[in-house]
Structure 1
Amino acid sequence: MNDTNASLITQSLEIASERGGDLTSAVYARLFQERPDLEPLFVMDTNGAVRGEMLSRVFDAILDFIGPCAYAHNLIHAEATTHDGYNVPRETFTLFFTTVADTIKEACGDAWGVDTEHAWSRLLEEIDLYIKANA
């Protein structure tokens, strides 16, 4: 990922955080709307802590994926493998990253431009290719 795209993604994360605060509820509401079959997997997460931790790891993975790539690939692979045990298909990881991007886009509002859209599209393509290659 080039520096310009990485900067746009980082900037959008910052804007979304400023405008939307904790995006956990919004991300999971969007996810469960699209995939209601996933919601029962969180039945034990009564206070949202697991969802918050998972989203935090996704943000960390994104920032590493667009930056030094020190651990994101291993983290994504490890989490995909772990989730195999929960019968969560690998393509659900691509969906989750897309859900996060859509939620960030919504939180950014008018600060989300064509270049930001392109940067996120490129990131999502790269993550999807990585997930498919390591299934």
Structure 2
Amino acid sequence: MPRAPDPHEPDIVASLERAGELCEDLTPVVYDRLFSEQPEMEVLFWRDQNHQIRGEMLTRVLQAILDFVGERLYSRTLIQSEVVVHEGYDVPPDVFRTFFATVRDSVREVCGDDWRPEWEAAWATTLVDLDWYVTHPDQAMTPA
């Protein structure tokens, strides 16, 4: 049975599209914010001299967010799996869980005065929903 459309999908998509129009590459904005808020994470990127790893990670996160508010074909299990994978990289789950909000805050920053209250509301609800999967990485416990 197809999943009912997420009422927040249009606002999440619109905010990301507007940010994309205003900023050619969100990667430095997101990671500057991340390292400012979580300075202990920067050392984990010591191999990423050309920032390609950061860009690839952000691309996967944005794709996961779009899938999460869209068809939800894979995002729930991807998020749960990545929590476990990132623990292996010494990224604690409580730090991992902040990344989605870091993305939202970066998108809001880039959008500036174009940021809309409905986007804020959509992101707030989506972040709460995403957080469940971050804090419950055991896929056996996930409702069908």
Among residues 68, 71, 81, which one is paired with 1:78 in the alignment?
A: 81
**Secondary structure of 1:47's match?**
coil
Structure 2 unaligned regions, length at least 5: 139-144
Q: Distance in 2 between matches of 1:85 and 1:5?
A: 33
Matched, 1:38 2:38: no
Alignment of 1:56-75 (within 5 A): 56-75=59-78
Q: How many corresponding residue pairs?
A: 135
Q: State the AA in 1 paired with 2:132.
A: L
Greater mean deviation of Cα atoms: 36-45 or 81-90: 81-90
SS of corresponding position for 1:44: coil
Is this contact kept in 2: 1:94–1:124, CA < 8 A? no
The two structures have a TM-score, normalised by structure 2, of: 0.89
Structure 1 residue 93 displacement after superposition = 2.2
Look at both structures and tell me which one has the larger radius of gyration over its CA atoms: 2
Q: Could you tell me how far apart the structure 1 residues matched to 2:22 and 2:9 are?
A: 20
Preserved CA contact (<8 Å) 2:83 2:137? no
Alignment match, 2:121: 118
Q: What is the Cα-based RMSD across aligned positions, in Å?
A: 1.4
Distance 2:5 2:77 in 1: 21
Alpha-carbon contact 1:62-1:72 (below 8 Å) kept = yes
Structure showing greater relative contact order (alpha-carbon pairs closer than 8 Å, 6 or more residues apart)? 1
1:40–1:10 distance in 2 versus 1, CA, 3 Å: same
Task: State the 4+ residue runs in structure 1 displaced beyond 6 angstroms.
Answer: none
